[in-house]
Amino acid sequence: MRLNEKYFNALMIAGLLALPLWAVVADQPFTITLVTRAVILALAAVGLNIILGIGGMVSFGHAVFFGIGGYAMGILAYHAQTYTALDLGPFSTDGTKSMPVIWLVAMILSGLVAFFIGLLSLRTSGVYFIMITLAFGQMFFYFAISWAQYGGEDGLSIYVRNDFPGLNTLAPIQFYGICFTLLCVVLFLFARLQASPFGLALNAARQTPTRVETVGLNPMRLKLLAFVLSGAITGLAGALFADLNRFVSPTMFSWQLSGELIVLIIIGGVGRLMGPVIGACVFVALEHFLGELTDFWHVYLGVVLLCIVLFGRGGLIGLLTGKEGVHV
């Protein structure tokens, strides 16, 4: 039996609503934390899906933006909680504990860094693009390790979760509500973007870059804009992830995380609206349930990935709906 993709997407959203509500009733706060983790990883992967799924760019350094979002949250919250000034040369600030402000800073910083990384890396393609993005990822990773002021290799702990007006963010279900809402907003924007002239042109640039130029579109500019949007969304996810754990560390910049983001998009379905969401749910479920049984749960993840790559080119959604995904 083949599922209609729209129904499947609706089912996923309903599931993401029902499971935490059940956890509240059953008094299982850890389940809410697990689903929150899946939702945040899904958010980061939706950001990556813009360039991977629509634009066909395999970025192996997307953790850079996740880490920047995380550190933006960590540094602002650290200064706000320790009542120390954050000296930024011409001006200084006391930091902030306000989530919306932190998200805005995280997105702007990630977007700016994405702009500069994109400007250099998008001049290449294929394996060179992968290597350049990986190199940037490693640069930020080692910079974070050596940044002693903010914990260096040990990372930085934030003792109290940041504030959101009108909500108790320390209550798992309320923090989950924030993350779920942001995921829904970003999914809506992704769907609109994919069907917009910009999304279609980006898709066309993935298929035949030279032909796109003959219809008056600049593939470099299209890809750069997509890269910046993608980086900003992944940065937002990084800020939420740091708030979830109340901890930031250089591992948020690691190439393993970049790889995991790609893996969970492939599991769900590259270029699919809900591909990153189902991928993140499967990833977190495997990490939790298999992780309890063995430290080597990645082996089983590898088997799942292998089966999907070999037998379901459109990821799990492709298998369930019978539609092949995009060719990257």
Partner 1 sequence: MTLLRIENLSASYGVSQALFGVDLEMAQGEVTALMGRNGMGKTTTVKAICRMIRSDGTLMLDGQDLHVLPSHKVARKGVGLVPEGRRCFADLTVRENLIAAARPGEWTLHRVTELFPRLGERFSQRAVSLSGGEQQMLAIGRALMTNPRLLILDEATEGLAPIVRQEIWAALHRLRQETNVAILLIDKSLKELAAVSDKAVILERGRTVWSGDITDLTPEISEKYVGV
Q: Which residues bind partner 1 (CB under 8 A)?
A: 197, 200-201, 203-204, 207-208, 210-219, 326-327
CB of 54 to partner 1, least distance (A): 10
Q: Which is nearer to partner 1, 199 or 235 (CB)?
A: 199
Q: Which is nearer to partner 1, 231 or 325 (CB)?
A: 325
Q: Which is nearer to partner 1, 50 or 239 (CB)?
A: 50
CB of 213 to partner 1, least distance (A): 4
Dihedral of the alpha carbons of 244, 45, 233, 71, in degrees to the nearest 10: 40
Q: Which is nearer to partner 1, 144 or 270 (CB)?
A: 270
CB of 219 to partner 1, least distance (A): 8
Q: Which is nearer to partner 1, 221 or 289 (CB)?
A: 221
Sign of CA dihedral 287, 179, 264, 321: positive
Q: Is the CB of residue 52 less than 8 Å from the CB of residue 328?
A: yes
CB of 314 to partner 1, least distance (A): 12
Q: How far apart are CA 64 and CA 70, in angstroms?
A: 10
Dihedral of the alpha carbons of 111, 116, 118, 122, in degrees to the nearest 10: 170
Q: Which is nearer to partner 1, 171 or 191 (CB)?
A: 191
Dig out the tokens for 18 from the structure: 């029902």
CB of 134 to partner 1, least distance (A): 27
**C-alpha separations of 66 from 71, 282, 294 in Å:** 9, 20, 27
Identify the DSSP state of 325.
-
Q: How far apart are CA 94 and CA 85, in angstroms?
A: 5
Which positions ≥6 away from 1 have C-beta within 8 Å? Answer: none
CB of 195 to partner 1, least distance (A): 8
